[in-house]
Amino acid sequence: MAETFWVEVVSADKLVWEGEATQLTAMTTTGEVGILAHHIPLIATLAAGTAEIAASDGVRHIIAVDGGFVSVTTEMAAIISPYAALAHDIDVTEARRTLLNLEAKREAGDNSLATRSAYHRAMAQVKAAERHK
């Protein structure tokens, strides 16, 4: 049996998930990182996208994240993000609608920080929900 370590996923307003895991995979701004038990200490900036947790009970959790960072010690890992949501909690129809509206705004010339941020969050939600299926 694979060794486990503690994982916490925290958004700006709540604890999204916590528990024992055998693996954590997340996309950083420099590429994908895979974390196993006893990983060397690490702090990395997350890209907007998805993270995946292989829980010790065999359940795979897909999480949409909107940037932030991952912090790893030899005993635990934490994802801290302004926005994080479990894929099964995301309404994929609504996320796709939001993404289409934001794409239209961008094509019309709106390249504001708020629009770019909302676009990346919606993209992360769609990716997470689609991976969860």
Over residues 52-109, the pLDDT tens digits come to 999 999 999 999 999 999 999 999 999 999 999 999 999 999 999 999 999 999 999 9
Q: Predicted confidence band at 131 (pLDDT cuts at 50, 70, 90)?
A: confident
Taking Cα atoms as reference points, which of 3, 12, 30 lies closest to residue 79?
12
Instruction: Please state, as a whole number, how many other Cβ atoms lie within 10 Å of the Cβ of residue 47.
Output: 19
Tokens 């509206």 belong to 101
Non-local CB neighbours of 45 within 8 Å, separated by 6+ positions:
28, 29, 67, 68, 69
pTM, to two decimals:
0.90
3-state SS record for 66-96: CCCEEEECCCEEEEECCCEEEHHHCCHHHHH
CATH class of the domain comprising 5-87: mainly beta
- Mean predicted confidence (pLDDT) in 40-61: 96
Tell me the residue type at 88. Answer: H
